[in-house]
Homo-oligomer: A and B are copies of this chain.
Amino acid sequence: MSSLDAVLSQIDANLDDSIDRLFDFLRIPSISTDPAFKSHCQEAANWLSAELNQIGFDARTEDTPGHPMVIAKGGEGQNHFLFYGHYDVQPVDPLSLWNSDPFDPKKETTPQGDVIRARGAADDKGQLMTFVEACRAFQQVNGQLPTKLTLFFEGEEESGSPSLVPYMEANRDRLSADLAMVCDTGMWDANTPSISTMLRGMVGGEVTITGPDRDLHSGMYGGPARNPIRVLTKILAELHDDDGKITLPNFYDGVDPVPADILKQWESLNHDGIGFLNEVGLSVPAGETGTSVLEQIWARPSCDINGIDGGYTGEGFKTVLPSEAKAKVSFRLVGRQDPIAIEEAFKTFITSRLPEDCTASFLLKNGSSATVMPLEAPEFGKAHQALSDEWPNPAVYAGCGGSIPVVGHIKEILDMDSLLIGFGLDDDAIHSPNEKYNLSSFHKGIRSWARVLDALA
């Protein structure tokens, strides 16, 4: 029996113990956003640190202005990997919608197979424990961890990660490795694992257009007085052309076509774009013409007005001609699009279209670039093969329409790419009542990390 086979057998044999440990972890109500649960966040960090110290790591919890970090180092070898996860969980309200206590985890049999039901079962306690339990199996079988590893867990992911960047910047050397691994994403479907290799970036914020210096009566002023809502709607309407393309000058600089082999793989997924839209009451793709729904979300930039506000918005009617109008606008970025250049282009787009007597002010967020993983790097190919060996279907190199901030921080602060492998499913109800994690996600997730670590060690 090869070393890997022995590790996989050990994982199978130990599954019940692994579940018991996950249940212990899930019982700790480590809700990071609610100060009432602060001690439980500390407790979860301590629990994790103690577990890691038992399986060959030198682990410790380290204080921050918020909840503590857990950092663990162990193993030896040429290749050094940083694993990131988070031990905090979302709040559980409305509690009345849960069918059982969110912090009393249960194994349940459902038509789709066995599941683990609890807050954090998937996000992210169950997911991060797949990696920890894989490490444990190596330690048990070989008496040592598979390679040089740094494990890094935060307790503020569900509450905005205020301590993350300062901690990463202050601990750059201790966190640096060759490649990061993150287990906080999902599978394509229950039989098809996925490596997320493209994450969209984002830039945007709020624009306020001001006209008259006070609210006016539209009877007395309607006609000659500039209406900022009208100015705003007219400018926003020009952000897209008739083909759904975004009209900011040079916006598409750095947007490359999806490589043919990736596009072919995506096409083979037979993604049901219409079905995806049907689930939210839509039936016709509204974005750029000539690109599939999947491509639009994973590999094309977009622009959305996320909020708009001006004048009288209460019940009934007031004939006000308001002094100002606001919109929140965001751009999802792909490829090498430059958030700073796009922020500037957006400001210029607005200000250059302002009519007389109007001014614009901006409250813009710090933008983030898209993340595109280097698929040509050998680690990605090896991880892809390892996942494909474990699951019924070959692994997918997937995109992700949203952003995962920590991946950007790992790239920017630590100059590392990330291998984003996770075993969540769309129906896991993370952030919602009755969160679950498939037992198969947990079990085969542990086995998957064993295969990946074996392949990359």
Chain A residues within 8 Å of B, Cβ to Cβ: 200, 202, 204-206, 211-214, 216-227, 229-230, 232-234, 236-240, 273, 276-277, 280-288, 293, 296-297, 300, 302-313, 317-322, 325-328, 330, 332, 355-357, 365, 400-403
* The residue from B218, B237, B365 contacting A233, defined by CB atoms under 8 A apart: B237
Residue of B nearest to A214 (CB): B280
Q: Do residues A308 and B233 form an inter-chain contact, with CB atoms below 8 A? A: yes
* The residue from B225, B311, B403 contacting A308, defined by CB atoms under 8 A apart: B311
Supplied contacts A216-B280, A307-B318, A319-B330, 7 more A-B pairs, CB within 8 Å: A211-B282, A217-B402, A225-B286, A226-B284, A229-B305, A234-B237, A307-B311
Tell me, in angstroms, the Cα distance from A310 to B236 when the chains sit together.
Answer: 14
* Chain B CB within 10 A, most for which of A212, A240, A355: A212
A276 CB contacts on chain B under 8 angstroms: 224
Residue of B nearest to A403 (CB): B219
Q: Do residues B401 and A221 form an inter-chain contact, with CB atoms below 8 A? A: yes
Q: Do residues B321 and A219 form an inter-chain contact, with CB atoms below 8 A? A: no
Q: Which 8 A-B pairs have the closest CB atoms?
A: A219-B402, A213-B281, A237-B237, A307-B311, A223-B296, A284-B356, A309-B313, A223-B302
Task: State the Cβ distance, A281 to closest chain B Cβ, in Å.
Answer: 3
Q: Do residues A309 and B306 form an inter-chain contact, with CB atoms below 8 A? A: no
A229 CB contacts on chain B under 8 angstroms: 305-308, 327
A286 CB contacts on chain B under 8 angstroms: 223-227, 355-357
Q: Do residues B306 and A312 form an inter-chain contact, with CB atoms below 8 A? A: yes
A309 CB contacts on chain B under 8 angstroms: 308-310, 313
* Chain B CB within 10 A, most for which of A212, A303, A308: A308
A219 CB contacts on chain B under 8 angstroms: 200, 202, 332, 400-403
* Chain B CB within 10 A, most for which of A306, A365, A403: A306
Task: State the Cβ distance, A119 to closest chain B Cβ, in Å.
Answer: 20
Tell me, in angstroms, the Cα distance from A118 to B355 when the chains sit together.
Answer: 42
Task: State the Cβ distance, A225 to closest chain B Cβ, in Å.
Answer: 6
Question: Given that A212-B281, A281-B214 are contacting pairs, would A304 and B233 also be in contact in the complex, using a CB cutoff of 8 Å?
Answer: no
Tell me, in angstroms, the Cα distance from A237 to B327 when the chains sit together.
Answer: 15
Tell me, in angstroms, the Cα distance from A302 to B357 when the chains sit together.
Answer: 19
Q: Do residues A307 and B296 form an inter-chain contact, with CB atoms below 8 A? A: no
* The residue from B206, B216, B297, B308 contacting A222, defined by CB atoms under 8 A apart: B297
* The residue from B200, B212, B232, B310 contacting A282, defined by CB atoms under 8 A apart: B212
A–B pairs, 22, beta carbons within 8 Å: A202-B219, A202-B319, A205-B317, A206-B317, A211-B281, A216-B280, A217-B402, A218-B302, A218-B306, A219-B400, A222-B297, A222-B303, A222-B401, A223-B288, A223-B293, A223-B302, A224-B273, A224-B296, A229-B327, A237-B238, A305-B311, A317-B365
Tell me, in angstroms, the Cα distance from A322 to B218 when the chains sit together.
Answer: 29
A240 CB contacts on chain B under 8 angstroms: 230, 234
* Chain B CB within 10 A, most for which of A237, A287, A327, A365: A237
Q: Do residues A222 and B357 form an inter-chain contact, with CB atoms below 8 A? A: no
Tell me, in angstroms, the Cα distance from A286 to B282 when the chains sit together.
Answer: 39
Tell me, in angstroms, the Cα distance from A236 to B236 when the chains sit together.
Answer: 10
Residue of B nearest to A364 (CB): B317
A206 CB contacts on chain B under 8 angstroms: 317
Residue of B nearest to A365 (CB): B317
Tell me, in angstroms, the Cα distance from A355 to B242 when the chains sit together.
Answer: 12
Tell me, in angstroms, the Cα distance from A199 to B310 when the chains sit together.
Answer: 27
Tell me, in angstroms, the Cα distance from A293 to B224 when the chains sit together.
Answer: 6
Q: Do residues B284 and A311 form an inter-chain contact, with CB atoms below 8 A? A: no
Task: State the Cβ distance, A320 to closest chain B Cβ, in Å.
Answer: 5
Q: Do residues B212 and A332 form an inter-chain contact, with CB atoms below 8 A? A: no
